């Protein structure tokens, strides 16, 4: 009998890829969704190969009771806790949602003796924010300093949620003593299965829609969504990852001008308004008064983003995809899913999400 894996937030960008890869490997999957009434949102999951035999969707929210979550977790062998808010512009409300959502899943796993392991989707934002030396190479041993005035609400939410999970496991004295692995991906890109428009989609959409009139001197680390999903499943099964944090990222990081050049080579011929010119800090600072997303990145301008991904490679044997291809596939996916308009001369490209 195949094992049952709970995937929280199953219609999300990353979670949908986790569901797809689990089904491909013949796991039974129980996916949580906020509503079973939105069939258009659920259709991409129900259309996945083997979904009719192996996929069950259940309606529950991170704010629901521990009793309800215990019923959902009951019978599961593993939990991939992927669901968590990731707005580009966040306020402190995301902290409570992230921490409470993480703890309710931990508590439910502690009550259900069949659960062997929880894999928690954390973030690099729980690692490299608020440090005196922002340009050093960051590893899993680093933690974001939430007391730094530079650290905004989203990094605080991911840091506090991950710490709450580790504290919960450390202090378990009774009940089901499951294992925990936390994954810390950088910005996730690549093709879409669902049309969930989280931060990753919003950022690449801005590159291609004209919403980014010029390029800030901003560097980011990227990772392909399929690699992150694969890492969840590898960590789920790998005993050596128990009790570990794992940075999940391709290296080196890319400047926004590099991202724009990659996208322009592919989509410029179709007249997508991908920015060409750099934005001086003064102009960005002025623009931030009318654009909240620009304000969010002011502290990150001219930072060199460096991560050590050797643990993911050594412990899980993961080989990361090249990000230029991931970005191109994501651009096509945004157009094919009508998140971006189809311009004259554009021909649909068949993204193969199953690789």
CB neighbour list of residue 269: distance below 8 Å, 6 or more residues apart: 345
41 is catalytic: no
- pLDDT score at 118: 98
CA distance to 13, 257, 258, 348, per residue, from 261 (Å): 24, 6, 5, 21
4-186+222-249+306-320 placed in CATH 3.40.50.720: yes
Residue 138: both structure tokens together? 């960051």
Q: Choose the catalytic residue: 158, 230, 239, 295.
A: 158
- pLDDT score at 270: 94
CA 268 vs. chain centroid, Å, equals 28
Domain positions in the chain: 4-186+222-249+306-320, 190-220+254-303+322-355
HSE (side-chain half, CA atoms, 13 Å) at 252: 9
Q: Which residue has the tokens 């090249």?
A: 322
- pLDDT score at 88: 47
Residue of 349, 355, 321, 324 whose CA lies nearest to 334: 349
Q: Report the C-alpha gap between 117 and 274 in whole angstroms.
A: 43
Q: What is the mean pLDDT of the chain?
A: 91
Q: Report the C-alpha gap between 285 and 307 in whole angstroms.
A: 27
Regions of the chain with pLDDT less than 50: 88-89, 352-355
Task: Round the CA-based radius of gyration of the chain to a whole number and report it.
Answer: 20
Contact 59, 35 (CB under 8 A): yes
Contact 246, 239 (CB under 8 A): no
Residue of 185, 143, 151 whose CA lies nearest to 167: 143
Residue-wise pLDDT for 164-216, tens only, equals 999 999 999 999 999 999 999 999 999 999 988 788 999 999 999 998 888 99
User: Could you tell me what percent of the chain has a pLDDT over 70?
Assistant: 90
Residue-wise pLDDT for 305-332, tens only, equals 999 999 999 999 999 999 999 999 999 9
């Amino acid at each position: 009998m195949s094992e049952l894996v709970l995937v929280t937030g199953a219609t999300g960008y990353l979670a949908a890829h986790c569901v797809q890869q689990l089904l491909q490997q013949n796991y039974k999957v129980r996916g949580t969704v906020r509503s079973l009434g939105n069939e258009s949102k659920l259709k991409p999951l129900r259309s996945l190969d083997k979904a009719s035999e192996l996929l069950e969707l259940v309606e529950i929210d991170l704010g629901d009771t521990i009793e309800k979550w215990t019923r959902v977790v009951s019978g599961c062998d593993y939990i991939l806790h992927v669901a968590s808010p990731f707005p580009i512009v966040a306020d402190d409300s995301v902290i409570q949602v992230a921490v409470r959502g993480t703890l309710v899943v931990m508590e439910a796993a502690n009550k259900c003796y069949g659960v062997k392991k929880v894999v928690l989707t954390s973030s690099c934002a729980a690692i490299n924010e608020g440090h005196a030396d922002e340009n050093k190479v960051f590893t899993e041993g680093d933690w974001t300093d939430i007391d730094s005035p530079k650290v905004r609400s989203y990094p605080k939410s991911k840091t506090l949620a991950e710490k709450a999970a580790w504290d919960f496991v450390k202090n378990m004295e009774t009940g089901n003593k499951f294992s925990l692995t936390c994954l810390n991906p950088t910005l996730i890109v690549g093709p879409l299965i669902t049309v969930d428009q989280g931060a990753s989609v919003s950022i690449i959409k801005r590159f291609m829609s004209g919403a980014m009139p010029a390029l800030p001197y901003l560097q980011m680390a990227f990772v392909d969504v399929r690699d992150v999903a694969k890492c969840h499943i590898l960590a789920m099964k790998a005993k050596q990852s128990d009790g570990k944090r794992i940075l999940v990222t391709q290296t080196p990081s890319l400047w926004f001008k590099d991202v724009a050049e990659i996208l322009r080579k592919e989509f410029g011929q179709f007249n997508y308004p991908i920015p060409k010119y750099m934005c001086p800090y003064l102009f960005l600072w002025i623009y931030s008064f009318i654009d909240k997303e620009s304000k969010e990145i002011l502290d990150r301008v001219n930072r060199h983003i460096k991560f050590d991904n050797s643990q993911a490679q050594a412990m899980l044997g993961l080989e990361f995809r090249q990000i230029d291809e991931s970005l191109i596939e994501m651009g096509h996916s945004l157009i094919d899913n009508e998140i971006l308009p189809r311009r004259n001369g554009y021909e649909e490209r068949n993204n193969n999400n199953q690789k």
